[in-house]
Structure 1
Amino acid sequence: MDAALKDLSKLENLTHLSRASSYVQRSPLASTSGKGKSTSSIEESLDGLLASLRDVKERLEAGTASEEDVANVCKIIEERKKEVDERQKEIYSTLGKVGKALDKKFTSAVPESPHLFTSEASQEALLRTVALHFLRTGQFSTAETFFETHFEIPEESRTQFVELHTVLTALRRSDIQPALSWCERKREFLNERGSPLEFFLHRSQFIRLLLASSPPNSMAALAYAQEKLVPMVTKYGDDIYRLLACLAYVPLSRLQHSPYADLASPALHMELEPMFATEYCASLGMSRQVPLRVVCNIGGGGALARIEKGRKVMRERKSEWSQTDELPIEIPLPPENRYHSIFACPVSKEQATDANPPMMMECGHVVAKDSLQKLCKPQGRVKCPYCPQESHLAKALQVYF
């Protein structure tokens, strides 16, 4: 977008009187040729031409004009015409650059589609999505206004999101107690998910206690570890031993240049907020990402434009992909927006799943696990369908896409 704004600013300067290039004052009949020629705007060139013509007219009427003055009139007209042509060419060239920059940034118009939210159920779903978006993103005053005019959310849902943002605000102030209280109430749920949230909260508090004073208060940190971390040693033994071992490298100046430098990083505490938000939303049966934001980022970020362009091209070439309105278009997505495997086995043509993951053979080719087992020969040898090399079944590695 910077290129378009730069060209637009240049176009404005070329066409705006007050910002146009300065016109060097000179004698009306003076020649503009040579190295000292100045760059004038169209208005300035025309004004200079009129001034020259008026001057010649006045001299002719007064009888003081020489033959040389009259002969220079045609020369002045040609020079001014050349100046105007140059400025016009520059304006049209810049205007073309602005259009190209805008076309490059906004590749095509947003596709037109029939009204999707016509039924009462779909309208209610849309309003609920917008209402939950306001609550989930902490825009409570906006949500209240929205509820007054459009939709009503149960009081329980409002209370839950208020609690979420209260805890997040406390974490931002380095207060982990509200988050720990929630973890204690939801410990069974967190254990089922294998979430390390509670341990990360205690780890953050341990590091804060250790580095909060100068010199470091190791005894307070050790007492906290004895009370909160030791009961978790069965599950997080290696991490807890690292926390205790880092005591040998305090204060902070030494810890930052030790094998435990990661424990001194501010990221250790910054990751608590998104992790808590993820677990809290999971406990409510919601996705870890804000749905409305994901839709706008992906659709408005280029997906709709790519789809519309693909449809237009295939319509013009009359090369429809299938009867089910499918398009052979790849939409690039960041890793956090990939919700399923993008690998399809080249042998079975089936999409990979958790039960049938992609497996890479020693030769580097990848097939689904079921296909790999079907290709397996006696003694655990696998004949690759794409090259003459044989691989060992036991040496096949699971890969992720």
Structure 2
Amino acid sequence: MDASLKELAKLEKLASSSGSSKGKSPSIDDSIDSLLRSLREAKDSIQSGAATPDSFSSLSKKVESSKKDIDERQKEVYNSLARFGKALDKRFTAPLPSYQPMFTSPEAVVALERTVAAHFLRTGQFETAETFIEESGVDIYPELHTHFLDLHQIITALKAGNIAPALEWTGRNRAFLEARASPLEFYLHRSQYIRLLLATHPPNVPTALAYARANFAPFYIRYDAEVNRLMNCIIYLPIARLQASPYADLASPTLHLDLEPMFAKEYCANLGMGRQVPLRVVGDIGGGGALARIEKGRKVMRERKSEWSQSDELPIEIPLPVENRYHSVFACPVSKEQSTEQNPPMMMNCGHVITKDSLQKLSKPGGRVKCPYCPEESNLSTALRVYF
């Protein structure tokens, strides 16, 4: 794949207006712009009466020179395109499979166009989305554009180290986040605390501690160990000592970078959407080898005449990366029953998960629950519902 990407980079460089050439010919855009300037100058000279026979002769030479430069650059582009095609053919030896058209009905076409438009909006390509919506005529809820514009404005603020817009959103949606047992709001305050602590030299400990007293209290019961680490790391300041201490992870840039995908995940969940972009998942899985495996399996079974299903199924296992392994159904390890809305998965303080009915059956007087998998006991009232 590296060879194909290398040839593609060369092709992009040649096709761009700033791409360098092996020869001395300028880019096609530069040649055309130069020719247009010469034509405008010749037009102005004719209109002002200052044109001479030499002017026309010079213009003719300019046209021929520009044509030669464009032809040379186009030849280089075509040669690079041919090399790129050969690299692709060498990498992908099997021909592309042919299928019957899948999006033929009006409903399917509208669903596909709506998915593409939502993809552009969700990935922050707002100008492309507006052009696509205008040209396709697809109907998109206006609120969807507003929601994703708000999302990317908050993400942009997080990249700049400004957590205020994100905290404002978490404040409005605190009940939703608490129901999901999301650590987002605490992590935002943790990020701001570390920034205040390490922003200056010497460290601004009084300001950071004042921020901690004002914001960490509501999270102490749930994140007591983490809050204690945030307070104890002060003894290892300045940052050079902190980076070589047991609290080195608090000085890592990833502490702040992880906030962006976490916020996007919770924001989309609040809209009823998955944490991953659907079209990107389809491209990653399908383009990552699934289509090739499926086509190979179909070919083998067709040759052996061993089609085993009337539903166009294939006995093929597709390996998926960890982020694409979804668990929409939870089976309780105690009762062996699948969870439902009335009997959801519940996480105990020790981290083990069982269903709500099993949790209540294991509870003792006083609301204490003995975990069936470890020696720890939990409180029935502090068990959290788990969302998969």
- Equivalent pair of 2:216/2:227 in contact (CA under 8 Å): yes
Using a 3 Å threshold, how does the CA distance of structure 1 residues 256 and 332 change in structure 2: closer, same or farther?
A: same
Could you tell which deviates more after superposition, 334-343 or 161-170? 334-343
Unpaired stretches in structure 2, ≥5 consecutive residues:
8-84, 341-353, 355-371, 375-388
Task: Return the offset for 1:109.
Answer: 2.6
Q: In the alignment, which residue of structure 2 is the partner of 1:330?
A: 317
Q: In the alignment, which residue of structure 2 is the partner of 1:57?
A: none
Q: 2:181 aligned with 1:184, yes or no?
A: no
Q: TM-score, normalised by structure 2?
A: 0.63
Q: 2:285 aligned with 1:285, yes or no?
A: no
- Equivalent pair of 2:198/2:239 in contact (CA under 8 Å): yes
**Within 1, Cα distance between the matches of 2:202 and 2:180?**
39
Match of 1:138 among 104, 108, 124: 124
Using a 3 Å threshold, how does the CA distance of structure 1 residues 162 and 316 change in structure 2: closer, same or farther?
A: same
Q: In the alignment, which residue of structure 2 is the partner of 1:266?
A: 253
Task: Return the offset for 1:142.
Answer: 0.5
Match of 1:248 among 235, 252, 261: 235
How many residue pairs are counted as aligned between the two chains?
263
Q: TM-score, normalised by structure 1?
A: 0.61
**Within 1, Cα distance between the matches of 2:329 and 2:271?**
28
Using a 3 Å threshold, how does the CA distance of structure 1 residues 5 and 234 change in structure 2: closer, same or farther?
A: closer
Could you tell which deviates more after superposition, 134-143 or 229-238? 229-238
Task: Return the offset for 1:199.
Answer: 0.2
**Within 1, Cα distance between the matches of 2:5 and 2:202?**
54
Using a 3 Å threshold, how does the CA distance of structure 1 residues 352 and 132 change in structure 2: closer, same or farther?
A: farther
What secondary structure does 2:298 align onto?
A: helix
Aligned-partner residue type, residue 171 of structure 2? E
Task: Return the offset for 1:124.
Answer: 1.0
**Within 2, Cα distance between the matches of 1:342 and 1:179?**
31
Task: Return the offset for 1:5.
Answer: 8.7
Could you tell which deviates more after superposition, 312-321 or 243-252? 312-321
Task: Return the offset for 1:119.
Answer: 1.4
Q: Where does 1:36-55 land on structure 2 (aligned, <5 Å)?
A: none
**Within 1, Cα distance between the matches of 2:6 and 2:103?**
40
Q: In the alignment, which residue of structure 2 is the partner of 1:113?
A: 99
**Within 1, Cα distance between the matches of 2:89 and 2:308?**
26
Aligned-partner residue type, residue 139 of structure 2? E
The Cα offsets for residues 90-136 of structure 1, whole Å up to 9 and x where unpaired, read as xxxxxxxx98x866732523321111111121111111100000000
Unpaired stretches in structure 1, ≥5 consecutive residues:
8-97, 345-350, 356-368, 370-393, 397-401
What secondary structure does 2:284 align onto?
A: helix
The Cα offsets for residues 356-376 of structure 1, whole Å up to 9 and x where unpaired, read as xxxxxxxxxxxxx9xxxxxxx
**Following superposition, which runs of at least 4 residues in structure 1 exceed 4 angstroms of deviation?**
3-7, 101-104, 341-344, 351-355
The Cα offsets for residues 172-193 of structure 1, whole Å up to 9 and x where unpaired, read as 0000000000000000000000
Using a 3 Å threshold, how does the CA distance of structure 1 residues 331 and 187 change in structure 2: closer, same or farther?
A: same
- Equivalent pair of 2:239/2:251 in contact (CA under 8 Å): yes
The Cα offsets for residues 242-284 of structure 1, whole Å up to 9 and x where unpaired, read as 1001111111001011111111111100100000000000000
**Within 2, Cα distance between the matches of 1:162 and 1:244?**
37
Q: 2:284 aligned with 1:301, yes or no?
A: no
State the identity as a percent: 63
The Cα offsets for residues 282-308 of structure 1, whole Å up to 9 and x where unpaired, read as 000001000011111111222112111
Q: In the alignment, which residue of structure 2 is the partner of 1:221?
A: 208
Task: Return the offset for 1:155.
Answer: 1.7
Q: Where does 1:19-34 land on structure 2 (aligned, <5 Å)?
A: none
Task: Return the offset for 1:221.
Answer: 0.3
**Within 1, Cα distance between the matches of 2:290 and 2:260?**
30
What secondary structure does 1:109 align onto?
A: coil
Q: CA RMSD in A?
A: 3.0
What secondary structure does 1:216 align onto?
A: coil
Task: Return the offset for 1:352.
Answer: 9.8
- Equivalent pair of 2:329/2:339 in contact (CA under 8 Å): no
- Equivalent pair of 2:330/2:339 in contact (CA under 8 Å): no
